[in-house]
């Protein structure tokens, strides 16, 4: 399986590169699954909006992960509850909108990929322990469904 993970897409310039280059990269490298950190993709570099996320998905992104800027755009709170391909950090406070992990199917329909989105505590507001949360979710994913790959995106 060919997996592509891209770090922070920053503002309009980062979005432009992704929009113009990603489809060709996916095709030329036979990429099966794409994960992008998009929490800084808004024009001001803080947050992500529904239109931006939908453009990413249309260009071949399978999952958008995030971190401490996920709530910087008000509209994201409602959108993240409806869109399971946009993940918030799993170790945020219980009851936070959206999901922190999910199981997805690769582009070629051959693989199940579990993706966990986590956020550290260094220079950030306090979150649940990333290692304990990763361990607990990993157990759930392995027991719950047969997955081929597990990706932990740590921000």
15, 69, 85, 88: the active-site residue: 69
Residue appearing with tokens 């996320």: 53
Q: Which two tokens stand for residue 135?
A: 């361990």
Give the pLDDT confidence score for residue 122 in this predicted structure: 65
| Residue 93 pLDDT level (bands cut at 50, 70, 90) | confident
Average pLDDT over residues 36-55: 96
Mean pLDDT taken over the chain: 90
| pTM (predicted TM-score) | 0.90
* The dihedral formed by the CA atoms of 16, 19, 25 and 26, expressed in degrees to the nearest 10: 160
Mark whether 155 is an active-site residue: no
Rounded Cα distance, 12 and 132, in Å: 36
């Amino acid at each position: 399986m060919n997996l592509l993970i891209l770090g922070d897409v920053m503002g309009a310039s980062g979005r432009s590169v992704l929009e113009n280059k990603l489809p060709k990269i996916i095709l030329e490298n036979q990429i099966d699954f794409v994960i992008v950190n998009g929490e800084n993709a808004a024009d001001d570099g803080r947050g992500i909006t529904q239109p931006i996320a939908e453009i990413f998905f249309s260009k071949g992104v399978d999952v958008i992960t995030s971190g401490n800027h996920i709530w910087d755009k008000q509209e994201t709170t409602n959108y993240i509850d409806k869109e399971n391909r946009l993940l918030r950090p799993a170790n945020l406070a219980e009851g936070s909108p959206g999901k922190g992990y999910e199981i997805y199917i690769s582009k070629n329909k051959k693989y199940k990929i579990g993706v966990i989105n986590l956020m550290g505590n260094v220079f950030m507001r306090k979150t649940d322990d990333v290692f304990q949360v990763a361990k607990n979710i990993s157990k759930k994913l392995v027991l719950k469904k047969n997955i081929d790959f597990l990706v932990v995106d740590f921000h």
